Copies of this chain bind each other. A is one copy, B any other.
Amino acid sequence: MTTPDNAPDKAADAPAEPTGIAAQDWAQASADPQYRAAVVDLLGALAYGELAAFERLAEDAKLAPTLADKAELAKMASAEFHHFEQLRDRLASIGEEPTGAMEPFVAAYEGFHKQTAPSDWLEGLVKAYVGDSIASDFYREVAARLDSDTRALVLGVLDDTGHATFAVEKVRAAIDADPRVGGRLALWARRLMGEALSQSQRVVAERDALSTMLVGGVADGFDLAEVGRMFSRITEAHTKRMAALGLAA
């Protein structure tokens, strides 16, 4: 329902019935040490991402033009923190040290945030919206290839935090008030996408278990061509979102 534009491709992409890993629960699937390592990587990356999102939103709250906007950003930050807690608790419950699982991804997130520090409130909103949407698209794609327990957790923490609607309304209003803002923010969104891709490549190059899972070394039905299609779906969705915002991607 949330991606009606992909409907024509659905028949080709969607498996009729879960097979392989997707048909198993965590107890069964985690017997494979390589799958287990890939999931620990995935949960670690997602957990640190939520913690970094908390920090970024709290930081953006300082730029908010009104107290009501500030409270709205603080609310989103707090929601991200509760997602972080769930992921950290899952890592602990499967016997992994959460900070150990997160450490390998700190550099990529810090690199991304350092290269894309917003210079004002609107850039912060666009960044939050673009970043969340891309991450959410990516994790939803990956979720279909996960065991049932991990899948439920991942989809749960991607629940909408109200972010998108808030950001879209504020950015549209700003562009209506001053159309030149649209040009600046379109450039900004392109830079964000470029930097996100560059940091993703870094992670893929460094994390063998995770990358092997993505290219089908573990979960079946997920080959390199499918990874390519996944990235193009994510890029297309980004382009459509930017157009809907009034920004040429």
Expressed in whole angstroms, the Cα–Cα distance for A82 and B79 within the complex equals 10
Chain B positions within 8 Å of A51 at CB level: 67, 70-71, 74
**A84 close to chain B: CB less than 8 A:** yes
**A195 close to chain B: CB less than 8 A:** no
Segment of A15-23, A28-36, A58-66 in the binding face? A58-66
Given A81-B77, A88-B71, are A99 and B58 neighbors across the interface (CB < 8 Å)?
Answer: no
Chain B positions within 8 Å of A68 at CB level: 99
**A102 close to chain B: CB less than 8 A:** yes
Expressed in whole angstroms, the Cα–Cα distance for A64 and B139 within the complex equals 28
- What bracket does the count of chain A residues touching chain B fall in? 20 to 34
Given A62-B55, A67-B103, A67-B106, are A84 and B74 neighbors across the interface (CB < 8 Å)?
Answer: yes
Report whether over half of chain A's contact residues are helix, strand or loop; otherwise say mixed: helix
**A151 close to chain B: CB less than 8 A:** no
Interface centre among A48, A58, A102 (most CB of B within 10 A): A58
Chain B residue at minimal CB-CB distance from A62: B55
Q: Supply 19 A–B pairs (Cβ within 8 Å), ascending by A.
A: A51-B67, A54-B58, A54-B74, A55-B58, A55-B61, A58-B58, A58-B59, A58-B61, A58-B77, A66-B99, A67-B102, A67-B103, A71-B84, A71-B88, A71-B99, A75-B85, A77-B78, A78-B81, A78-B82
Chain B residue at minimal CB-CB distance from A79: B78
Q: How far is the CB of A49 from chain B (nearest CB, A)?
A: 13
Q: How far is the CB of A48 from chain B (nearest CB, A)?
A: 8
Chain B positions within 8 Å of A75 at CB level: 81, 85
Expressed in whole angstroms, the Cα–Cα distance for A74 and B78 within the complex equals 8
Q: How far is the CB of A190 from chain B (nearest CB, A)?
A: 27
